[in-house]
Amino acid sequence: MPENDYTNAPMMLTKYTPGFEEVDYTIPLNSAFDVTTPLQAIELEARAKSCAVIIQVALVPLDEIYGALEEETEGEIDDE
C-alpha cells in the first residue's frame, strides 16, 4: 500500500436503525472534533424517544476500507 499523508486517521460515523437492524447512514469525519455535532443530534433523538445511545469503535485496516492500492512508479504510464 502506498504511503499515506493523513494528518488524522480516516474516520466514519455509522448510525444504525433501532436494534442494529440496518445502516441508517454513514458520514465521513475529518477529525475527532467532527463527531460532536452528529453525536449531539443522535443524543437529542434518543432522549426524545426514551432510548439509550451505544457507541462502538473499531480499528479497521485501510485496505478493507479503500481496497488494496498498488504503489505507482513515478513517470509510469498506464496504457490500458
The confidence band for 10, taking pLDDT boundaries of 50, 70 and 90, is confident
Rg (CA), the chain: 18
- DSSP assigned state of 17: P
Asked if residue 72 belongs to a domain, the reply is: no
| Residue numbers of the domain that contains 15 | 11-62
**Cβ neighbour number for residue 23 with a 10 Å cutoff:** 10
Asked if residue 77 belongs to a domain, the reply is: no
Q: How far apart are CA 52 and CA 16, in angstroms?
A: 13
**Higher pLDDT residue, 47 or 4?**
47
Asked if residue 57 belongs to a domain, the reply is: yes
Averaged pLDDT, 5-29? 87
Asked if residue 4 belongs to a domain, the reply is: no
Q: Is 20 left (phi over 0), alpha (psi -120 to 50) or beta?
A: left
State how many domains the chain has. 1
